[in-house]
Each structure stands twice: as C-alpha cells, then as structure tokens.
C-alpha cells in the first residue's frame, strides 16, 4: 500500500513552476504573489523591469535578496511597482527556487500579476502545493506540514500553542526514533528466518518484549491525549441548565450574539438541544442549550435523566441559571450544588442569577452567584471573564505535554498500538515468529504514515486539499 516518497514525487511534476496569491484576496496595503519551481527566477525576470525601462534580470542575484522593479504586461503596459524577494534552492520554504513579489494589495493588481506570470510560463498552484513541495523536498515532515495548516486556521490560543509544538516536529522526532528501533528489531527477527534450521536468536525475546511494553505504554499515552485534547480541538463545552423560563435561551443568544434558540415566554419552548460555538478572549467555547426541563421542576432528577441520555454530559462548565425574581434563596442553591457536582464530577458549576433588571429596587442579598440580565445585557462581561478564567484552568492541564490533536495521527497511533499488542501477545505465547514480525511491520507502517516516511497520494490529498491556495 505504501509508496516511498520517490514514487509520489514522480506524480507531481516539480519541474513546473507554480504561482499563487499568498495573501487574502481583497483590498489591502500590500499583497504577496509567490512562485516556486525550477525556473521561477527566470519566469519572474521575463516580466520585471527597472525604472529606466530595462529588464530587471534576477538570473545571477544571490539568494535572500530584495529587488525593486515594475511588473509589466506582455503588451508593455505597467501593472505595479513591486519589491521582489529571491530564494534559491534549497534555502527556501519549498526547497526549490522561489520568488515572492510584494505588490500593492487589491484584487485587480494581484490578479493581473498572476495572469501575466501564468502567461510567462507558470501554472496556478493547487491548494497547499507549496507546503506539499516542502514536504516532498524533505524540508518538513508530514506532521509539520499539518501543523502549518493548523497554525493558519488557529482561532484560539490553545490551538495556536498546539500547532507550534507540532511545527517544531516534537512528535515526529519521537516517532521516527520509535520507528527505527522497531525496524531494527523486525530486521533481526526476519534474519532468523534465514537461519531457521540452526535455531539461532539474534533478537533476545525478553529484550524485545521489554521494548514493546515500553512502546505500547508510550503510544497509549499519546492515544489517550487525543481524548484529552478535545478541549483544544472542539472548545470548552458549556452547558446551561435551569428551570423553564429562567432565561437559558436568552442567555445563549446573548453569548453567541445570534437569534438562534427559540425564545418564548411560555415555559419549555426550547425544542431541541442546541450547540453553538463562540469565541471570547481567544478561547473557543461550545455552548449547549438544553431541551427545556419541562416535565418537572426537579432540576436534579431531570438532569440525571438527561445526563444519562445525552452527549452533553462531558461539559467542562455547567451554568446553573436561575430566575432572581423567584426568590431563590441561598439555602436552596447550597442544596443543589453538591448534587450537581456529583452529577458532573468533571465540570465546574457556575451559579448565575438572571433577570437582574426586574428587581426593583435592585436590592440583592448576598447571593453566591454571578448576577446578570441576559435580556438587558447586564453583567455579561463578568460572566464571560469568569468563563474564560475557568476555561484557561481547564486547558492548563493540557499544556506542556505532547498532545495528539490530529485525528489522522490518532488513528495511525491506535492502529500501531494494536499491532504492537498483537506482537506482544504472540511473543508471550511463544507464537509464530513470522506473524510477530508481520505485526511489527504493520506498526512500523502505521507510525511511518504519521511522519510521512511512508506515504501515498491518498494520504497527501487528504492533508493538502484542506489547505488554501498559496500555502
């Protein structure tokens, strides 16, 4: 199944020079048009002129230099005044000769430069093709290429931090080491097959089992970190619970800033449970509005039923919303608290009193809760900063350790782990050595797909089709 990189390389023709607008399309002060490929420098030289009208040749300029010039259409008309940066192979992002044209922002200028360059002999890059070439030329491995994608799409500090860890190649370095140790063990085992009559043991069984135990443990840790990294990938789950009419839908709308949930003065009109993402202070939250607890007012009982039924049980934060005009007293809150904490041992429970605007005069006794008016937008800042604070605590647990955040890595690691477990079982039962070796080979393959030491076009397409053009 797995090809080596060389065979994949043949399928994309790196002789072709690719071009793309690397910056966002639209009006901006500056934009960058980038090229990569064997003749990139020559192609740019064809359309570039100096102030005095002579062509600006980049043929002999050294790498990492900047040049001032004008991009001119084939008919001689001027498109823009630009700064051109030249990178010679292998010292470029892609590992190939590359050029970046810094031009004035704006859809027309960049499109015209792009068209002129295509006429001069290059073609439009596919999504992620620059990064794909960087991978194929050995500048980065696959996990780093994926981290580039994660970095570009990161909307939260947590995702950004995780992408930076992977960009450094921490995971791949460890996996490459693990893989080469497995390959060595496997080769020794396979060598024994050639001497099968002589009953030799090149690879001590005890050593091998010890090594596998160690690897399995390590893979287990990585695999389980994926579950844990959910708060990074999907955000901090916040569930709003409370009696009917407490204002749960109103609060959800206020937090996500959209008229999404159905709000009604009639109790229990939230029909489905809704989940909506929202960002605050660089943190991604997923807020869950529960289906109205319509059958009874017994919150705990209702929550118990719901918890056992619904996937929102894994919330990190529970907002218990109550109506301040219902004279809920402190004792009542204190009674609910331990029950909720028992129901949601993993979550932080936050008491929030709503409809502060209706308290006339607004005399509120010492209620151990955040007081808001979801409808009149009072106290929401305070609630948001408390949510952010709790989220940061919850994400702090994920910091510092190596996290698997990518589902592709997770699947390959799980497969590798099962293969190693299989090998270990065979070993402990003094089972068939050829089967053992083939399980080890399977693990070697799986680990190799993560870093890209083993790759094929399906894997590459899966990764790079999610990139934007120009990256």
Q: Which residues bind ligand GDP (CB under 6 A)?
A: 242, 244-250, 263-265, 270, 292, 354-355, 357-358, 373-376
Our CB check for ligand GDP shows the closer of 214 and 294 to be: 294
How far CA 146 is from CA of 110, 258, 407, 450, 451, in Å, comes to 27, 33, 11, 10, 10
* Through-space distance between the first and last CA atoms of the chain, rounded to whole angstroms: 28
Our CB check for ligand GDP shows the closer of 112 and 357 to be: 357
CA angle 325, 298, 241 (to 5 degrees): 65
- In angstroms, what is the minimal distance from the CB of 248 to ligand GDP? 3
- 367-372 contacts, C-beta under 8 A, 24 or more apart: 367/324, 367/330, 367/333, 368/330, 368/333, 369/322, 369/333, 371/324, 372/251
- Alpha-carbon distance of 143 to 220, in angstroms, equals 19
- In angstroms, what is the minimal distance from the CB of 382 to ligand GDP? 14
- Alpha-carbon distance of 144 to 170, in angstroms, equals 9
- In angstroms, what is the minimal distance from the CB of 373 to ligand GDP? 4
Our CB check for ligand GDP shows the closer of 87 and 320 to be: 320
- Alpha-carbon distance of 237 to 434, in angstroms, equals 47
**Could you identify the residue written with the tokens 């043929």?**
59
Our CB check for ligand GDP shows the closer of 35 and 240 to be: 240
Our CB check for ligand GDP shows the closer of 332 and 399 to be: 332
- Alpha-carbon distance of 214 to 45, in angstroms, equals 56
Our CB check for ligand GDP shows the closer of 374 and 426 to be: 374
The DSSP symbol for 16 reads S
Instruction: Count CB atoms within 10 A of the CB of residue 364.
Output: 12
- In angstroms, what is the minimal distance from the CB of 253 to ligand GDP? 8
Peptide bond into 90 cis (omega under 30): yes
- In angstroms, what is the minimal distance from the CB of 355 to ligand GDP? 4
**Sign (positive or negative) of CA dihedral 142, 144, 149, 154:** positive
Our CB check for ligand GDP shows the closer of 292 and 452 to be: 292
Our CB check for ligand GDP shows the closer of 62 and 361 to be: 361
């Amino acid at each position: 199944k797995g090809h080596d990189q060389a065979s994949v390389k043949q399928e994309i023709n790196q002789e072709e020079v690719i071009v793309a607008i690397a910056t966002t399309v639209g009006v901006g002060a500056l934009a960058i048009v980038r090229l990569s490929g064997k003749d990139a420098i020559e192609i740019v030289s064809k359309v570039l002129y100096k102030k005095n009208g002579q062509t600006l040749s980049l043929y002999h300029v050294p790498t990492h230099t900047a040049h001032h010039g004008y991009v001119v259409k084939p008919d001689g008309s001027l498109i823009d005044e630009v700064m051109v940066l030249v990178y010679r192979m292998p010292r470029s992002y892609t590992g190939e000769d590359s050029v970046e044209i810094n031009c004035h922002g704006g859809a027309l200028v960049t499109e015209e430069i792009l068209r002129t360059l295509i006429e001069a002999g290059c073609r439009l890059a596919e999504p992620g093709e620059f990064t794909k070439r960087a991978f194929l030329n050995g500048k980065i491995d696959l996990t780093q290429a994926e981290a580039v994608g994660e970095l570009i799409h990161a909307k939260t500090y947590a995702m950004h931090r995780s992408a930076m860890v992977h960009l450094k190649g921490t995971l791949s370095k460890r996996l490459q080491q693990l893989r080469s140790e497995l390959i060595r063990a496997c080769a020794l085992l396979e060598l024994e097959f050639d001497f099968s009559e002589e009953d030799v043991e090149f690879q001590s069984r005890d050593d091998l089992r010890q090594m596998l135990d160690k690897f399995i443990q390590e893979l287990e840790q990585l695999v389980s970190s994926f579950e844990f990294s959910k708060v990074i990938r999907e955000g901090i789950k916040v569930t709003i619970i409370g009696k009917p009419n407490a204002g749960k839908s109103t609060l959800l709308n206020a937090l996500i800033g959209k008229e999404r949930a159905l709000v009604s003065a009639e109790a229990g009109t939230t029909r489905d449970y809704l989940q909506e993402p929202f960002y605050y202070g660089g943190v991604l939250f997923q807020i869950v509005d529960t289906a109205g607890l319509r059958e009874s007012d017994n919150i705990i009982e209702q929550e118990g039923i719901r918890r056992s039924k619904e996937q929102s049980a894994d919330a990190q934060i529970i907002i218990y919303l109550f109506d301040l005009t219902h004279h809920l007293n402190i004792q009542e809150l204190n009674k609910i608290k331990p029950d909720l904490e028992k129901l949601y041992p993993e979550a932080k429970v936050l008491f929030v009193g709503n409809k502060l605007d209706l308290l006339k005069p607004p005399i509120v006794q010492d209620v151990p809760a955040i007081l808001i008016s979801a409808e009149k937008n009072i106290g929401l800042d305070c609630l948001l900063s408390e949510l952010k604070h709790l989220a940061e605590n919850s994400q702090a647990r994920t910091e510092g350790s190596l996290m698997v955040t990518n589902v592709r890595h997770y699947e390959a690691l799980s497969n590798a782990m099962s293969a190693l477990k299989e090998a270990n079982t065979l070993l402990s039962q003094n089972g068939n050595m050829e089967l053992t070796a083939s399980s080890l080979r399977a693990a070697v393959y799986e680990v190799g797909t993560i870093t890209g030491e083993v790759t094929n076009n399906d894997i590459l397409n899966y990764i790079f089709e999610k990139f934007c053009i120009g990256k």
